[in-house]
Structure 1
C-alpha cells in the first residue's frame, strides 16, 4: 500500500510518479483507462497540496468532457474540500478520488491501481515505459 514518504528523495519520487501518471492519463483514448491513471495519480499525489488539487482539476475536466455530470459535481465538491483536508491533515490514504467513493474514507489501494503506480516508479524509464512515454507493461 502506498504510504506517505517523508524523505526528500521520496518526495521527489512521488512527484515524478504523479507527473508520469497524469501524462499517461492525458494520452489515453478511452475514458475508463484515463480514469484509472487519474485515480492512481490521486493516490500518489494526495499528500501534497498542489498535486492533489491538480488531480481533482483533471478529474473534473475528464468528467465534463465525458458529460458525466454526477462525477463533475463530485469533483467540484472535492476541489473545494482539498484545502480543508490539507489544513486539518485529514487525507484518506488509498482513496482513489472518484465521486463514486466517500471523499473522507481511507481505502486499500486496488491491485490494478497499485500496478500503475509501481510502473510509474523510478525504474519506469528502464522497464515500465513504452517508447511513447506511456506507462504500461513491458512487451
Structure 2
C-alpha cells in the first residue's frame, strides 16, 4: 500500500472509531465502507476492515451484518489478490459481488 493510500485508509479507520465513540454507528459504518474501498486489494487490510464491520454489527446486534461480515472476512483473505468488485462498500446490505462507483476523492487516492 503506497503512503498516500495508507494515510487515507488509516484516516477512515480513525474517523470510524471516533464516530462509534460518539454513538453514531451509521456514520462509523460510512467511514468503514470508505476504508473498505481503499483496502480491497490488500488482503490483511481488507480482512481487518471486515472484522471492524463485524465488531460494529455485533455492537448493534445486527444479525444480518454479523453473518455477512463473517463470510466476507473469510473471502477477503482468499480473494483480495485475485479479484474484487471495485468500489463495493463491503456491507452485508449489498451484494458481495457487485462493483460500485468509487467516490471521486477515493478514486484519486487509488489512481
TM-score norm. by structure 2 comes to 0.86
Asked if 1:70 is matched to 2:70, the reply is no
- Cα root mean square deviation, aligned: 1.8
2 CA distance for matches of 1:32 and 1:56?
15
How far off its partner does 1:41 sit? Answer: 0.4
CA displacement, residues 101-136 of structure 1 (integer Å, 9 cap, x when unaligned): 111121113x5xx55x48xx7xxxxxxxxxxxxxxx
Moved beyond 3 Å, runs of 4+: none
In the alignment of these two chains, the number of paired residues is: 105
Q: Which has the higher helix share?
A: 2
Aligned residue number for residue 46 of structure 2: 52
Give SS of 2:49's match.
helix
Q: How does 1:22-61 map to 2 (within 5 A)?
A: 22-28=13-19, 29=22, 30-61=24-55
Q: Which runs of 5+ in 1 are unaligned?
A: 1-7, 122-139
On the 8 A contact 2:69/2:91 being kept in 1, the answer is yes
Normalising to structure 1: TM-score of the pair? 0.69
